[in-house]
Amino acid sequence: MAEPGRLEVKAVSKSYNVPGRPRLNVLSSASFDVEPGAFVSLVGPSGCGKSTLLRLIVGLDKDYQGEILLHGERIAGTSLSRGIVFQDHRLLPWLTLEQNIGLALENSGWSTEKKNKAIREHIELVGLQGFEKAYPHELSGGMAQRGAIARGLVGQPEILLLDEPLGALDAITRVRLQEELQRIWRVEGVTMILVTHDVDEAIFLSDTVVVMNANPGRIVKQVKIDLPTPRDRVSPEFAALKREVLHAMGEDQGLVLAREQLAEA
């Protein structure tokens, strides 16, 4: 793996010109750092610019003010050192699982042998052995998303960006995949940045939760999560952190809901 570098997001803003309306600020002066090997989550309501920020970091969108630095260099365009997992698994329907994962290695410059080994190892990593030759339509939603995670990791990127990868899954599969994701993060030692609107998910997985809010999209708070793992989702410490995050989001309604959920649990 390439030496994991520090990611620095410095006063990043993005706005759109909408004809006949005031300029739309999707992201206003966002700053945060990600240490190598860390797990950072961006949480916030829709419209807070969290996905925009992720697209900027992966390099799909190059038009912004401020600076995003990796190894001290400004990010310009996509790179194999930054992998991404989208909310829809985005596996190509005409390729089998192993071909889909292999596509990420197309420009890796590795030998066929090394590629095949990496593909095999990553299929094992996400627990999809036996499905190498399966087409995406033959996989369940959870399995397809595991495949997408394997594809994101196979090229051994420094950073894996996760854009609400579990958002479309049912609750049980989701919790299971959160645990999987935590295990994979430990095994691979890769820096992970997760965008989610699920506060539980963010606290369960992260070292740091970056809380964002909308109108304009901005970072309102960074919360360190110092709980030992595996984390108990119903412990008082977990609840306290959740309250802190929700409060920062200004989600009073959410707080009430969260209390109800805790009472039920």
Reported as type and span, the H/E element at residue 114 is helix 112-125
Closer residue to other proteins in complex, CB, 62/114: 62
Given 15, 29, 69, 86, the residue binding other proteins (CB under 8 A):
86
Closer residue to other proteins in complex, CB, 111/129: 129
Q: Does 60 bind other proteins (CB under 8 A)?
A: yes
Q: Does 76 bind other proteins (CB under 8 A)?
A: no
Size of the site for other proteins (CB under 8 A): 36
- Cα separation values, 263 from 114, 221, 231, 235, 260, Å: 51, 26, 18, 12, 5
* Beta-bridge partners for 151: none
Q: Does 24 bind other proteins (CB under 8 A)?
A: no
Whole-number minimum distance, CB 221 to other proteins, in Å? 30
Stretch that binds other proteins, among 18-26, 40-48, 56-64, 215-223 (CB under 8 A): 56-64
Site string for other proteins, 156-185 (x = CB under 8 A): -----------------x--x---x-----
Q: Does 69 bind other proteins (CB under 8 A)?
A: no
Closer residue to other proteins in complex, CB, 28/52: 52
Structure tokens at 150: 């394997």
Q: Which residue type sits at 129?
A: Q
Q: Cα(8)–Cα(178) distance, rounded to whole angstroms?
A: 26
Torsion region of 109: left, alpha or beta (phi above 0 gives left; psi -120 to 50 gives alpha):
left
CB within 8 A of 72, min separation 6: which ones?
5, 6, 8
Contact predicate 243/258, CB 8 Å = yes
Whole-number minimum distance, CB 71 to other proteins, in Å? 18
Q: Does 88 bind other proteins (CB under 8 A)?
A: yes
Secondary structure (DSSP) of 50-77: HHHHHHHHHTS----EEEEEETTEE--S
Reported as type and span, the H/E element at residue 115 is helix 112-125
Which residues inside 94-153 make contact with other proteins, applying CB under 8 A?
94-96, 103-104, 106-107, 127-128, 130-131, 133-135, 137-140, 142-143
Q: Which residues contribute to the site for other proteins (CB under 8 A)?
A: 58-60, 78-80, 83-84, 86, 88, 90, 92-96, 103-104, 106-107, 127-128, 130-131, 133-135, 137-140, 142-143, 173, 176, 180
